[in-house]
Homo-oligomer: A and B are copies of this chain.
Amino acid sequence: MHSSETTLGRLCLVPAPLDFMCESQVPLSHVMPMHTLEVASQLSHWVCENAKSTRALLKRIDAVCPLKTPIQLQTLVELPRLVHKKGDHAAGVDTSSLLGPALAGHDLGLVSEAGMPAVADPGSSLVRAAHDAGIDVLPLVGPSSLLLALSASGLNGQQFAFVGYLPQDSAARNQRIHALEKHALTTGETQIFIETPHRNQALWQALVSHLQPNTRLCRSSNLSLPNMQIVSRRVGVWRKNPGELDKHTPVVFAFGP
């Protein structure tokens, strides 16, 4: 707690479009409310997942809402590698030192490569440190692949879990798929997960082979983009024509009763 809270900056959570590393880009106005772009355009201090992609985003914002501070004069600090790799929770890294600009009175942006920062992406340790330092946290509206995939899946949206990544080893992965399916069928809870794109096909084959025929399985790619594809079918139907996933496109998977 600070004696003069009015002098502190805020931690602004700035969502990014979902076209990172994708073939086609969307206009920012497709996926970001004007207010989000306006707040982002006023910032000159950032904590980010990757400085290069943040600069690319700032250029796109500048084209819609002119930046208050030229990009080359802005301060961009990357989250520690360990947080990238293990996730904030497992890494146990203290990121409070990155809050310097906010403690000095500047609004500070947190941004990841795609979607909402600190959701299915690193950054929550910084948000936590902000709360502990009495810094206000301002989440801004923008796209989230998990939410778009869930709402469009036809699966239960009144009870759901994002379980992150499944194990890479095939025996462990199958075991995990069975455990998640058992939980989903018992409780009704939709299970949502992602994978690094080059492993998508192996995961997809495992899902189509090992889930029960009556379980509903949805795969969503290129969410919010012109080539968006969302297909939701019972596993028994998928088995007749499972299709193939390419090695480059991020996919959100979800299943449930």
Contact = CB atoms under 8 A, between A and B. Distances in A.
Contacts of A33: 29-33
Nearest to A220: B139
Nearest to A232: B131
Contacts of A181: none
B87 A158 contact: yes
Interface in A66-95: 87-90
A144 B33 CA distance: 13
Given A137-B152, A143-B141, A188-B89, A121 B29 contact: no
Contacts of A131: 154, 231-233
Q: How many copies does the complex hold?
A: 2
Contacts of A123: 157
A1 B32 CA distance: 34
Interface stretch (A40-48, A54-62, A160-168, A196-204): A160-168
A151 B164 contact: no
Contact of A116 (B35, B116, B130, B151): B151
Contact of A30 (B88, B141, B144): B141
Contacts of A136: 230
Nearest to A154: B128
A149 B152 CA distance: 21
17 contacts: A29-B34, A30-B33, A87-B156, A88-B157, A89-B156, A89-B257, A116-B151, A118-B150, A118-B152, A121-B158, A122-B158, A124-B155, A139-B151, A146-B147, A158-B162, A158-B164, A163-B189
